[in-house]
Amino acid sequence: MLDLTTTLAGPYGSQILGDFGADVIKIEAPGGDAIRGAGPQRNPGMASTFMGCNRNKRSVVLDLKTDAGRDALWRLIESADVFLHAIRPQKMAALGFDAATVMDRKPDIVYAALHGYHEHGPYGGRPAYDDVIQGEAGITGTFNLRDGAPAMVPSSFVDKSTGLITANGVLAAVIQNLRTQQGVYLEIGMFEGMVAYNLVEHLYGRTFLPSEGSAGYARVISPHRKPHQTRDGHICMLPYTDPQWRKFWALAGRDELADDPRFVTMQARSHNIDALYGTAAECLLNKDSADWLALLAEAEIPAGPANDLDDLFEDPHLKAIGFFRRLDHPSEGAIVTPDTPYRVNGGSLPVRHPMPQLGEHTREVLSEAGYSTAEIDEMTGDD
């Protein structure tokens, strides 16, 4: 798999594929992926954010502004199964690696283009980043519904979600390719992907024609849907089914609320969500967090602590399963990397290649592509 993506969305998607065993060859410009400089670092170009989305890859430096660089990429395309990039359509066409050209020379390839916006629409060709798409896709607008002012999710939410969407799409295209032995052109739109993702629940009343109300899932945008204060801290909990709410009211000593017409059914609760959550929050104030978590666990009502980021490293479940893996990186020394969400046949997916230094595998990959030592020396500028 040739991966020409940069920053976070594409690299996160290709890392997932690399975790599952794909031979991901990361093609970088001479200056390297910009994200190599994002965050703490021990050595230039090996910053923490880069480390988070570039394991199980090999790095090759090619200058696609030169004939030699473009020729080398064509040589690599000859033996590639997947070609993934996140370059705007007009710029890719100028380089000579648009879908039509690549698929004409390599008809059986999976050509995956990660675009900010679908190219056939009026936004096609615009640049796009996480912050912009959070606004355009209505994610900031959900905060406006709840809080009266727009806000951003304090996470690279769009980029990481788009990475997941990219990995899913590429896998589906590869399966189609294996079945048909024909090439596949896959376009992934960040904007379109996040609008669809956001509207899974928030389409709400506008699901129907004519509409049965406005967009915005009432339960999710309730201002009372938040970590609940206890006597000594905060917890997160969600009774959801009718039996779970009956159990909760009993634990809270408010048995009369089990038959309150506002709360007795899912439909009733959805119409009275602010009153429901506000009342539940009041009930939690009279016990410590640990007491509530023990009671809720015994009642099989989903609940957990409102962890800070640093709390995750002491989480008893994550510690017990060895989720945070220590790696001895050849250039960066001891590092920590989270495990993946997947276990295959009872085991974690292996880290076959640590996060690569810029151009670390250029000679190796070009040699595999048939270049001689002298040709590689000339291309890389080595004597």
Q: What is the mean pLDDT of residues 184-188?
A: 98
Q: What is the mean pLDDT of residues 145-163?
A: 96
d(CA 113, CA 301): 43
Q: Is residue 382 very low, low, confident or very high in pLDDT (cuts 50, 70, 90)?
A: confident
- Tens digits of residue pLDDT in 320-344: 999 999 999 999 999 999 999 999 9
Continuous segment of H or E residues that includes residue 72: helix 67-77
- Tens digits of residue pLDDT in 228-250: 999 999 999 999 999 999 999 99
Enter the tokens of residue 224: 């009372």
Domains of the chain: 2-197+341-380 (3.40.50.10540), 228-305 (3.30.1540.10)
Residue 4 confidence (pLDDT) above 80: yes
pTM of the model: 0.94
Q: Is residue 381 very low, low, confident or very high in pLDDT (cuts 50, 70, 90)?
A: confident
pLDDT, the chain, mean: 96
Residue 110, pLDDT score: 98
Residue 383 confidence (pLDDT) above 70: no
Q: What percent of the chain has pLDDT over 70?
A: 100
Q: Tokens 């009993």 correspond to what residue?
A: 250
The candidate with the shortest Cα–Cα distance to 83, out of 192, 28, 140, 3, is 3
Residue 216 confidence (pLDDT) above 70: yes
The candidate with the shortest Cα–Cα distance to 278, out of 299, 255, 294, 257, is 257
- Tens digits of residue pLDDT in 338-380: 999 999 999 999 999 999 999 999 999 999 999 999 999 988 8
Half-sphere exposure of 138 toward its Cβ, with a 13 Å CA cutoff?
18
- Tens digits of residue pLDDT in 15-32: 999 999 999 999 999 999
- Tens digits of residue pLDDT in 258-289: 999 999 999 999 999 999 999 999 999 999 99
In Å, the largest CA–CA distance within the chain is 84
d(CA 59, CA 64): 15
Enter the tokens of residue 284: 């939690």
